[in-house]
Amino acid sequence: MADEARLIDLDGLQGLIDALGARGYTVVGPTVCDGAIVSAPVHDVDDLPHGWGDEQDAAHYRLRRRDDDAVFGFAAGAQSAKPVVFPAHELIWRGRRTGTEFTVNERDADGPTAGPPPPYALLGVKSCDLHALAIHDTVLLGRGYTDTRYAERRAGSFVVAVTCTDPGGTCFCASMGTGPHPDTGFDLALTELLDGGPHRFLVEVGTPRGAEVLAGVVAPPAAASDVAAADAVVAQATGRMGRTLDTDGLKDVLYASAESPRWDDVASRCLACTNCTLVCPTCFCTSVEDVADLTGDVAERRRVWDSCFNEDFSYIHGGSIRTETRSRYRQWITHKLAAWVDQFGTSGCVGCGRCITWCPAAIDITAEAAALRWTPQPAAAGS
């Protein structure tokens, strides 16, 4: 990719946004709202978080002013790209009763003629979240039953990834092999350069579609010095991870820890609030809700995000399987870091650190995994 790298400046970035908009994409990227970096429609480079960075640690998130004008100089935002392609609330169908007739529309209030959702261009996707999208592709597209709504959004999506140049205190993507530099799964990838020279972005092309879009933007070939500068940015970011996670033999550690006393320790702190699963870019559990209006003439079925931390999530034929917080946290971390590997061939964690940042009790998945590794396990019955 280095041999094909191009270079754009801020005007070129605006040109890229315009080119995507001209092709019918709804461009969604990082913006500042209510003291956080969140995803929202982007029409202009001024919509992006110029000069904003962040401070992240366990149960701590604050925006901070940088001493430069970096556009992507922050770590993981409050949410990943997941809500765009896999919404937290989604209408499955709406039915209306008119006299003795009952009609069902599978799209929205406008009926079946509404068509599929507009194509999205995801701008500024960090490498950890890019890998999370790949995991969802495996889970939601690559198995026996395809999630058709997700398939529609992903098939039409255009991804502009970015190198994470300033990891946060809870980031550990380097431990998970998921960053900080995008390696696959993008149409275009940007590395922001602020090394004393002009403000510019090294652009790597990942697909023919990306090349076609970039062809309409002023993007001269990158010089060898620009490629070297981008490599230096990646190396520096890799060395500044706020957390690490030892993944060597971790699956076996978790499977052997089913009765560890550590679960009681974490349960004494965990609020079962579901924050960790709601901000996780790979969690995909949902429930279905059926509701009707007060007249009884309109009924809806909606799919909503759910969490294994909810007691009702494991409700089966008269009762919940996991009534205690200890068992719910054990289920979450064991599935994420162990069973996921057996099910889908990859870890369910991409090292974004959001579950640490947004946990009000400051529970740290990396610390809990390390504690389980060194906590003596109870002796097996009869030994």
**What's the pLDDT at 241?**
95
Mean pLDDT of 76-102: 91
**What's the pLDDT at 29?**
96
Lowest mean pLDDT among 116-125, 202-211, 276-285: 116-125
**What's the pLDDT at 245?**
96
**What's the pLDDT at 109?**
47
**What's the pLDDT at 196?**
76
Among candidate residues 185, 234, 223, the one with its CA nearest the CA of residue 7? 223
Confidence tier at 105 by pLDDT (50, 70, 90): confident
φ, ψ dihedrals at 4, nearest 5°: -105, 5
11 vs 127: CA distance, rounded Å: 24
Mean pLDDT of 115-144: 91
Among candidate residues 348, 370, 137, the one with its CA nearest the CA of residue 257? 370
Mean pLDDT of 50-61: 96
Q: What average pLDDT does the structure give for the chain?
A: 91
pTM: 0.91
Confidence tier at 115 by pLDDT (50, 70, 90): low
For residue 265, give every residue at least 6 positions away whose Cβ sits within 8 Å of its Cβ, in sequence order, or none: 371
Matching residue, tokens 């430069």: 68
**What's the pLDDT at 111?**
45
Mean pLDDT of 332-360: 95
Among candidate residues 124, 120, 130, the one with its CA nearest the CA of residue 152? 120
246 vs 242: CA distance, rounded Å: 14
pLDDT tens, position by position, 244-292: 999 999 999 999 999 999 999 999 999 999 999 999 999 999 999 999 9
pLDDT tens, position by position, 212-222: 999 999 999 99
> Residue 194 above 50 pLDDT?
yes
**What's the pLDDT at 284?**
94
Lowest mean pLDDT among 29-38, 113-122, 200-209, 359-368: 113-122
**What's the pLDDT at 375?**
77
> Residue 379 above 70 pLDDT?
no
Confidence tier at 112 by pLDDT (50, 70, 90): very low
Mean pLDDT of 50-55: 96
Residues in the chain: 383
Mean pLDDT of 187-196: 93
Per domain, the residue ranges of the chain are 2-86+116-238, 250-283+309-374
Q: Where are the beta strands (DSSP E) in the chain?
A: 6-8, 26-33, 36-41, 52-57, 60-65, 89-98, 101-105, 120-126, 158-162, 188-193, 200-205, 286-292, 298-305, 315-316, 319-320
Q: Is 124 left (phi over 0), alpha (psi -120 to 50) or beta?
A: left
For residue 74, give every residue at least 6 positions away whose Cβ sits within 8 Å of its Cβ, in sequence order, or none: 30, 37, 49, 52, 53, 54, 63, 166, 168
> Residue 1 above 50 pLDDT?
no
Q: Which residues pair with 94 in a beta bridge?
A: 105, 300
